[in-house]
A and B are shown apart, each in its own frame.
Chain A
Amino acid sequence: MDPILSLQHLKKYYATQKAVDDISFDIQKGSIFGLLGPNGAGKTTLLRMITGIFYPDEGNIILDGKTFNPSEDIAKIGYMPEERGMYKKMKIGEQALYLAQLKGLSKAEATEKIKYWFRKLEMETWWNKKVEDLSKGMSQKLQFVITVLHEPKLIILDEPFSGLDPVNANLIKDEIFGLAKNGSTIIFSTHRMEQVEEICDHIVLVNLGKKILDGTVQEIKQQYKENIFSIETDQIDSITDNPIFTIIKKEGQKVFVKINEGNNSNQVLGHLINNNNRIIAYNEVLPSLNDIFIKLVETTHATTRAFQNL
């Protein structure tokens, strides 16, 4: 399948730093894509280039097979920025209508779609309220509706769940899955790793303006696995260090072991069976994305960026 979005050697330098420094990756149609990175890694700059707010200094953006042309392609994109904004004094219905029309919908179309979404997310009574009357979570929901209203092919959500209670977060999560199923592609920018593991098909990790990780969640976990297995047994005391594996920790009925260089998981199992250990369960422990994230970001020696002279 052709990628919906393809970034090729994108660069954007500011006066004091290389915000985005030669980043390339592809996003497949209909996938949920996670763009990860610590604060100040260059995520927002990258997203602003994809939404046409900034032009890249170098490199190409290919959207749907063609070079990205902001003034035309804007209607294909829905962007929900990290810092949400609304006109506080404007009525919610009018505001949604206005923003939808700016995306190119006709007034009738926009009204119909807003009504559909408001009904779906139980917001029908909000129409004549003002944004200043809404709680943070409520305005978040409104912002989500405004972002997806014009049925964009590419939906970009920057931290979509911040400020939402679990019920509403689930509501939005289901909508995201639904949109992806219907063929929209979703770019999801966050640093909440548990959500990424749950939602995303494919992730890219950026730090200091560079891409440091690219792949599906499973691939990455395989890539960063440390050959750790958990053995569940009722005789934990009889398991001891030996040439095949090293014990990391014991927890209740579980023993966590790391397989030593040159051995494999079957050899561990063989050793345990030979020792007459009764095994209840035997599992590989894959690293969480959180662990991988922290490990990678820390090895690049900067959690916050220093300013560079260019």
Chain B
Amino acid sequence: MHKIWLIIQREYSTRVRNKRFLLVTFLMPLLMVGFLFGSAYLSSTGTEHRKIAVVDPNGFIKTSIKNTNQIEFVFPENIDTNNYSQKGFTDILILPQFDKNSKADYILRSKKSMGLMLQNSISEKINAAIEDQMLQEAGIHQNVLDSIHKASQFAELKAYEDKGGSVSKESNAGLAMGIGYASGFLIYLTLLIYGTMVMRGVMEEKTNRIAEVIISSVKPFELMSGKIIGIGAVGLTQFAMWIILITGLTSVGMGLLPADLQHQVSSLQQSNGQMAGTGMAQASESAMRIYNMQHTIATANWPLILSCFIFYFLGGYLFYSALFAAVGSVVNEDPQDAQSLMFPITMPIIFSYIITNMVTQNPNTPLAFWASMIPFSSPLVMMARVAYGVPSAVSYWELALSMSLLIGGFLFTTWLSGKIYRTGILMYGKKVNWKTMIKWAFTKQS
């Protein structure tokens, strides 16, 4: 046991002191948080103003189109595609002479290209104006219409999951999808990255022939498991650093927001999201957005998700890294061999990732169930399901079964790889395929 500990320490400390590890560990959260805040900042301040000249031969939307502070519709005389920019307009919108009952195309020309969001928004506004116009022509008064519009904006879908009795909890499918997708993706990446790291480590020991020196002091199995555990600890360290750095940087980032924005967010928090008109006229759009983000994030069961994440990361890592170690032990100097032997291991990981993408949208299909039980795919797929809530989406027995199967699975792959490893690590110059590896695993080796 003491010797395994030495091996773990070496594997861990040489990697953690590596410059590339430090770089990735510290840069990644900085990039993520910077990206988050940067895009939030840009979207709140960098809105462009569009002044659109409308050519409306029917005079159809002139009365009912609504301007916003981003888009302004103007109906000037004597305007055409040649002179609109000289007259100070950013775009020109040309409506056809159209019949009310048939669909018609309208044309928007701009000097500066327009984003998809803005285009959709314009298209929505025009349709709404046409709709209003038609309703008015059908005899509905403008003020009736206005009150209907106002009322319809108050309706918002809030989903709650029933927890039995009177307790219910706000649930958020979008967040569940996001968490499921993100944790699935993270496990996918780390399985590949840390798996190949284990394989490279084993190959290094084999090709520079230190394996024989070490194996004369420790058992091959100790060397293999020490390496796997050491590198796994590196992975956990990296995750822990990321979580600490991201939460830390986020709170620093929040502190850097303008003071009135912070004030608005905190009063939103106190009033539970309801804008009572006390003192403050109205919270700005960005304060609302920040509040909503915080509120949504708080609805998830983070302790459960984090502990499941750590379990499935470790389980999946142990399951696959043992196989990667086995491959590393049979490869000779030629890295090409490694490529082809790795293929059967990387394929299930990639497949699981594809399944995860489907499961994030639909956590309760038979495919989702089976894929979250089989240890080959459960580390990714179960995370996508767990994000939807336990026991609402995944019952306790399912979670327990999936976890036990994964534990059984990695014990099996470790045993299997241990047998392959002890033969492979001292075998030079022989080209090995999976068939021989399996033969080594199941014939008695002394």
Q: Which residues of A come within 8 Å of B, CB atoms? A: 48, 51-57, 71, 74, 77, 79-81, 83-90, 98-99, 101-104, 143, 146
Q: Which residues of chain A have C-beta atoms less than 8 A from B426's C-beta?
A: 48, 53
Q: Which residues of A contact B205 (CB under 8 A)?
A: 85, 87
Some 23 contacts from A to B, beta carbons below 8 A apart, are A52-B216, A53-B212, A53-B216, A55-B446, A74-B217, A77-B216, A79-B216, A84-B209, A84-B213, A85-B211, A86-B210, A87-B14, A87-B204, A87-B205, A89-B14, A98-B6, A99-B213, A101-B6, A102-B3, A102-B6, A104-B217, A143-B213, A146-B213
B298 to chain A, nearest CB (A): 45
Shortest C-beta distance, B421 to chain A (Å), equals: 13
How far apart are the CA atoms of A104 and B215 in the complex, in Å? Answer: 14
Closest-CB distance, A56 to chain B (whole angstroms) = 8
In the complex, whether B104 has a CB less than 8 A from a CB of chain A is no
Which B residue sits closest to A146, measured CB to CB? B213
Q: How far is A55 from B445 in the complex, measured between Cα atoms in Å?
A: 9
Residues of B within 8 A of A80 (CB): 213
On chain A, the residues within 8 Å of B219 by CB distance are: 71
Partner of A54, one of B3, B204, B209, B446: B446
Taking CB atoms, residues of chain A closer than 8 Å to B218 are 102
Kindly provide the distance from the CB of B422 to the nearest chain A CB, expressed in whole angstroms. 9
Question: Could you say which residues of chain A place their CB within 8 Å of the CB of B212?
Answer: 53, 79, 81, 83, 85
B45 in contact (CB, < 8 A): no
B333 to chain A, nearest CB (A): 12
Contact of A53 among B6, B7, B215 (CB under 8 A): B215
Give the B interface residue count (CB, 8 A). Answer: 21
- Judged by a CB distance under 8 angstroms, whether B24 is at the interface is no
* Distance between B367 CB and nearest chain A CB, rounded to angstroms: 43
Contact of B10 among A48, A71, A98 (CB under 8 A): A98
Kindly provide the distance from the CB of A302 to the nearest chain B CB, expressed in whole angstroms.
20
**Closest chain B CB from A210 CB (angstroms):** 21
Cα A99 to Cα B213 with chains together (Å): 8
Residues of chain B contacted by A48 (CB below 8 angstroms): 426
- Is the CB of B214 closer than 8 A to any CB of chain A? yes
Interface centre among B14, B216, B218, B219 (most CB of A within 10 A): B216
Confirm or deny: B82 has a beta carbon within 8 angstroms of a beta carbon on chain A: no
* A99 neighbours in B (Cβ, 8 Å): 213-214, 217
- Of chain A, the residue at the smallest CB distance from B443 is A15
The yes or no answer to B120 lying at the interface (CB within 8 A) is no
Pair A79/B213 contact, Cβ less than 8 Å:
yes
* Chain B residue with the shortest CB-CB distance to A100: B217
A53: chain B residues within 8 A (beta carbon): 212, 215-216, 426
A235 CA / B218 CA spacing, docked (Å): 67
Instruction: Give bound CA distance, A25 to B24, whole Å.
Output: 57
Closest to A83 in B: B209
User: Is B102 interfacial (CB 8 A cutoff)?
Assistant: no
- Supposing A52-B216, A102-B217 touch, asked if A85 and B210 sit within 8 A by C-beta, the answer is yes
Does B271 make an interface contact (CB < 8 A)? Answer: no
Cα–Cα, bound, A87→B217 (Å): 16
A130 to chain B minimum Cβ distance, whole angstroms, is 12
- The reply to whether the CB of B208 lies closer than 8 angstroms to some CB of chain A is yes
**6 further contact pairs, Cβ within 8 A, besides A53-B215, A74-B217, A85-B212:** A48-B426, A53-B426, A85-B208, A87-B205, A87-B208, A99-B217
Q: B14 to chain A: which residues have CB within 8 Å? A: 87, 89-90
Q: Which residues of A contact B204 (CB under 8 A)?
A: 87
Chain B 188-206 interface residues, beta-carbon cutoff 8 Å to A: 204-205
Contact A74 B446 (CB under 8 A): no
B211 contact set on A, CB distance < 8 A:
85
Q: Which residues of A contact B3 (CB under 8 A)?
A: 102
Task: Using CB atoms, name the residue of chain B closest to A81.
Answer: B212
The residue in chain A whose Cβ has the minimal distance to the Cβ of B206 is A85
B216 near A86 with CB under 8 A, answer no
The complex places the Cα of A87 from the Cα of B7 at a distance, in Å, of: 13
Given the complex of chains A and B, what is the CA–CA distance between A53 and B212 in angstroms? 8
Within the complex, the shortest CB–CB distance from A68 to chain B, in Å, comes to: 13
**For B10, B210, B219, which residue has the most chain A Cβ atoms within 10 angstroms?**
B210
Which B residue's beta carbon lies closest to that of A87? B210
Residues in B neighbouring A54, C-beta threshold 8 A: 446
Which chain B residues border A89 with CB–CB below 8 Å?
14
What residues of A have a CB within 8 angstroms of the CB of B213 in the complex?
A: 79-81, 84-85, 99, 143, 146
Q: How far is the CA of A155 from the CA of B12 in the complex (A)?
A: 31
A71 vs B426: C-alpha distance when bound (angstroms)? 19
Shortest C-beta distance, B328 to chain A (Å), equals 15
Closest 6 CB pairs of A and B: A85-B209, A85-B210, A55-B446, A83-B209, A102-B217, A79-B216
Residue of B nearest to A79 (CB): B216
Specify the chain A residue showing the minimal Cβ separation from B428.
A83
Smallest CB separation, A179 vs chain B (Å)? 18
| B208 pairs with A88, CB closer than 8 A | yes
What's the Cα separation between A51 and B208 when bound, in Å? 20
A78 to chain B, nearest CB (A): 8
A81 and B215 CA atoms in complex are apart in Å by: 11
Question: Chain A nearest CB: distance from B125 CB in Å?
Answer: 63
- Cα(A150)–Cα(B14), bound, Å: 24
A57–B443 Cα gap in the complex (Å)?
Answer: 14
Which residues of the other chain, B, contact A77 by a CB distance below 8 angstroms? Answer: 216
- Chain A residue numbers with a CB within 8 Å of B208 are 85-88
CA distance A71 to B220 in the complex (A): 12
Nearest-Cβ distance from residue A245 to partner chain B, whole angstroms = 51
Least CB separation from A91: chain B residue: B14
Residue on A nearest B220 in the bound complex, by CB: A53
Q: Which residues of B contact A98 (CB under 8 A)?
A: 6, 10
**Complex interface: chain B residues within 8 A of A85 (CB):** 205, 208-213
CB distance from B429 to the nearest CB of A (A): 11
Shortest Cβ gap from B11 to chain A (Å): 11
Q: How many Å lie between the Cα of A57 and that of B10 in the bound state? A: 34
Q: Whole-angstrom distance between the alpha carbons of A71 and B208 in the complex?
A: 24
Inter-chain CA distance A52–B422, complex, in Å, is 13
Given A85-B209, A89-B14, A102-B6, do A74 and B214 touch, yes or no (CB 8 Å)? no
Most interface-central of A71, A81, A89 (chain B CB within 10 A) = A81
Q: How far is the CA of A51 from the CA of B217 in the complex (A)?
A: 9
How many Å lie between the Cα of A143 and that of B210 in the bound state?
A: 10
Output the nearest chain B residue to A107 by Cβ-Cβ distance: B6
Per-position 1/0 for B1-21, Cβ under 8 A of A: 001001100100010000000
Among residues 6 to 61 in chain B, which have CB atoms less than 8 Å away from a CB atom of chain A?
Answer: 6-7, 10, 14
CB distance from B224 to the nearest CB of A (A): 14
The residues of A that contact B446 with a CB separation of less than 8 Å are: 54-57
Most chain B CB within a 10 A radius of its CB, from A54, A57, A79, A101? A101
With A57-B446, A74-B216, A74-B217 as contacts: A81 and B10 at CB distance below 8 Å? no
